[in-house]
Structure 1
Amino acid sequence: MWTKIVPIAALLASASLTSGAAYAAPTTPVGGEALGSRGLVAPPGVKKPPKTKATSYVVADVTTGEVLAAKDAHGRYLPASTLKTLTAVTLIPKLDKDRTIRPSQNACNQEGSAVGLSVKAKYKIDDLFNGLMMSSGNDAAMALAEINGGLDKTMRDMNAEAKRLQAYDTVAKTPSGLDKPGQSSSAYDLALIARAGLANPEFRRYISTKTADFPAPKGKHYEISNHNKLLWRYEGMIGVKNGWTSKALGSFVGAATRGGHTIVVSIMRHEGGFWDEVAQLLDWGFEVRGRTTAIGKLVDPLPVARPAPQPAGSAPVTKVTPAVQPPLLGTAASKQTDSSRTVGMAVIGGGLLFGLVWLGFGIRRRRRGSRS
């Protein structure tokens, strides 16, 4: 008998996209009622999935979207570097992989795992995605966020993308996955995000690359290798991402293809080595796929929201972001939280003008914003 719980996703507020539209969180477990259980949910008529020390996990068929087995699928936990899958899914379509940049000192100084960025070297965006997904570079994550328009904008973009994918258990506070209060994901969401990434050829290329040359100062290079050990020892392994911090413990999401089908396994909060357990769960997924009833489904992304059309004849709205704000406005804006503030400003003409000209515009303030 499945234990029914109220999913955290149902308690989340809707997330606004940059277009101004919003996706409302559901009131039932995403993917099916059975996935609301905190215990093991396994399909009938086949052997049970192999045991794992992971607190939470999902085994699913990427090709069909069928969830084959799960334990606490929607339990919210710290994701560690598996959150980089969302960073990649969000930013790969936005950034020109052939663009060359020089990273900031802030990006180069990020704590935790790093690919070794230097302010004295130049990198293609393509190099940074390799550093992000192969070497789990927190420095590469920050550099990509800064290139995307800054940390605050990137966090908004990542959280909007999570809601579009219906990954409602996921709240991104950092682009790297380094622990931060309020940050979370779930085994279900990691499988969902990985599935979205696997549909992108560039994402697949980054996660499946075993070794690559990486730029260094003075035109030199050095070799980096993928942290996913299963790339070397599991037949059909495509890749995806592993992570670890002292608070999150071990987490992993990985996918492999055999016989024309791709199976994804995501685990969270594992205390020790998980590689063999993941391999056994993948084996089980390939064995039972198509022979039993699914316990749930990886849902499809929601359509991209579009701005509401303006009434005919209405004047277009121009958004203005001043380079320097008046002291009073700057003080008020510094107290903003996650909610957008709209400030109405009136500009009064001089004595030579015959009246008052009111200009309304909305100022949207950006939110302020170990190893992994």
Structure 2
Amino acid sequence: MWTKLVPITALIASVTFSGGTAHAEPTAPIGGEALGRHGVVAPAGVKKPPKSKATSYVVADVDTGQVLAAKDAHGRYLPASTLKALTALTLIPKLDKNHKVKPSQNACNQEGSAVGLSPKVTYKVDDLFKALMMASGNDAAMALAETNGGVAKTMTDMNAMAKRLQANDTVAKTPSGLDKPGQSSSAYDLALIARAGLANPDFRRYISTKVTNFPAPKGHYEISNHNKLLWRYDGMIGVKNGWTSKARASFVGAATRGGHTIVVSIMRHEGYFWDEVASLLDWGFSVVGKAQPVGQLVDPLPDPAPAAQAHATAPAAPPASPAVQAPLLETAASRQNDSTRTVGALVIGGGLLFGLLWVGYGIRRRRARSRV
């Protein structure tokens, strides 16, 4: 028995007033109307995508962003270790890969999958990213978060990155993907995150490395990538797989063939999914450029203006802006009826008339005094 997290498939676009009542007008789901459906969405005129036991999936063209097929694309589910793709994407630009880290005991004691960090060993940030994306080390995730200034700051950074990508179904609560109430993602968001990550050379290097040596208290030991398709699927680049008892299996991965790169993301799979992912990738390559897309992986929002620049251009003591004042005015307006609107008009009109008479009186007095 499991409970699906409530999907966010529409945002509030505007609020209109009718007879003093506010009405919310929803927009289409991010990426297109069809992606708000819970069942399989596939293009006409080409062969159907292969069946998958995944509760949710997305097949998309990384280069164009076109979604080729989907199933409950915006359904919100626990992401498990696929969330580490967001951790890496967020922290790679922030941390010097040659910076040396001695992990805390807290990091070394993280539950679940671990690479085996020791507080007696000094690691490069580069090593920790390999451990994160290859061996799915929850200990490495915590060590990276602590290097970034702590878990709270890292969660703020990760959620800001998700919003910039328009991955609005994603809420990060842990750097590792370990289950926590309120944490979520979607197959659509995992595809967005993977697409952004593939544009980063270091991210791409970490996810595609099959085997590497990893520092140990005495010498080193070998770690290998958990993505089985790196060994079995022609053109596989990698990304991330995950599993917890509550999330079940999840996966996001990309491969390149014939000048095209296809990404497949799945969530909430109950069993062995590798062959199904391979079949979905095969299908994607067979229809790319031929099928009418069913949706679109949206581009990230522009980077916000630097804080220093915004501060320099801001007025020294700005008055309350209309944007700040508007909610107050709207709240007051929504509470008015015809009687209160009439009274308000009389009060404002009467006050204005009184003010004009008073100004006129003052001008006449100044003129009278100037003649004396």
Q: TM-score, normalised by structure 2?
A: 0.78
Query: Equivalents in 2 of 1:12, 1:200: separation in Å?
Result: 33
Query: Equivalents in 2 of 1:270, 1:313: separation in Å?
Result: 54
Q: Which secondary structure state, in structure 1, belongs to the residue aligned with residue 38 of structure 2?
A: coil
The letter of the residue matching 1:185 is S
Query: Equivalents in 2 of 1:263, 1:201: separation in Å?
Result: 17
Query: Equivalents in 1 of 2:314, 2:126: separation in Å?
Result: 43
Query: Equivalents in 1 of 2:27, 2:227: separation in Å?
Result: 36
Query: Equivalents in 1 of 2:12, 2:100: separation in Å?
Result: 39
Q: Does 1:130 align with 2:130?
A: yes
Kept in 2, the 8 Å contact 1:12–1:168? The answer is no
Query: Equivalents in 2 of 1:27, 1:145: separation in Å?
Result: 35
CA drift at 1:314: 3.3
Q: Does 1:287 align with 2:286?
A: yes
Report the RMSD for the aligned CA atoms in angstroms.
1.7
> Superposition pairs for residues 209-288 of structure 1, below 5 Å?
209-218=209-218, 220-288=219-287
Query: Equivalents in 2 of 1:105, 1:244: separation in Å?
Result: 24
Q: Deviations over 1:263-292 (max 9, x none)?
A: 000000000000000000000000000111
Q: Deviations over 1:181-235 (max 9, x none)?
A: 00000000000000000000000000000000000114x1000000000000000
Query: Equivalents in 2 of 1:129, 1:137: separation in Å?
Result: 9
As a proportion of its length, which structure holds more helix?
2
Query: Equivalents in 2 of 1:310, 1:131: separation in Å?
Result: 42
Q: Which secondary structure state, in structure 2, belongs to the residue aligned with residue 10 of structure 1?
A: coil
Give the match for residue 204 of structure 2.
204
Kept in 2, the 8 Å contact 1:142–1:175? The answer is yes
Query: Equivalents in 1 of 2:67, 2:224: separation in Å?
Result: 31
Q: Does 1:162 align with 2:162?
A: yes
The letter of the residue matching 2:177 is G
Q: Which secondary structure state, in structure 2, belongs to the residue aligned with residue 214 of structure 1?
A: strand
Kept in 2, the 8 Å contact 1:55–1:269? The answer is yes
Query: Equivalents in 1 of 2:181, 2:291: separation in Å?
Result: 40
Query: Equivalents in 2 of 1:101, 1:183: separation in Å?
Result: 28
Query: Equivalents in 2 of 1:12, 1:130: separation in Å?
Result: 40
The letter of the residue matching 2:156 is R
Query: Equivalents in 1 of 2:30, 2:101: separation in Å?
Result: 40
The letter of the residue matching 2:316 is S
Kept in 2, the 8 Å contact 1:7–1:36? The answer is no
The count of aligned residue pairs is: 297
Q: Which secondary structure state, in structure 2, belongs to the residue aligned with residue 176 of structure 1?
A: coil
Q: TM-score, normalised by structure 1?
A: 0.78
Kept in 1, the 8 Å contact 2:9–2:36? The answer is no
Give the match for residue 69 of structure 1.
69
Unaligned runs of 5+ in 2: 1-5, 14-25, 318-372
Give the match for residue 183 of structure 1.
183
Kept in 1, the 8 Å contact 2:12–2:27? The answer is no
Q: Which secondary structure state, in structure 1, belongs to the residue aligned with residue 10 of structure 2?
A: helix
Q: Does 1:304 align with 2:303?
A: yes
The letter of the residue matching 2:272 is G
The letter of the residue matching 1:127 is D
Give the match for residue 359 of structure 2.
none
Residue identity over aligned pairs, in percent, reads 80
Q: Deviations over 1:156-200 (max 9, x none)?
A: 000000000000000000000000000000000000000000000
Query: Equivalents in 2 of 1:99, 1:145: separation in Å?
Result: 14
Kept in 1, the 8 Å contact 2:10–2:30? The answer is no
Query: Equivalents in 1 of 2:301, 2:65: separation in Å?
Result: 15
Kept in 2, the 8 Å contact 1:7–1:28? The answer is no
CA drift at 1:28: 2.3
Unaligned runs of 5+ in 1: 1-5, 14-25, 316-372
Give the match for residue 316 of structure 2.
314
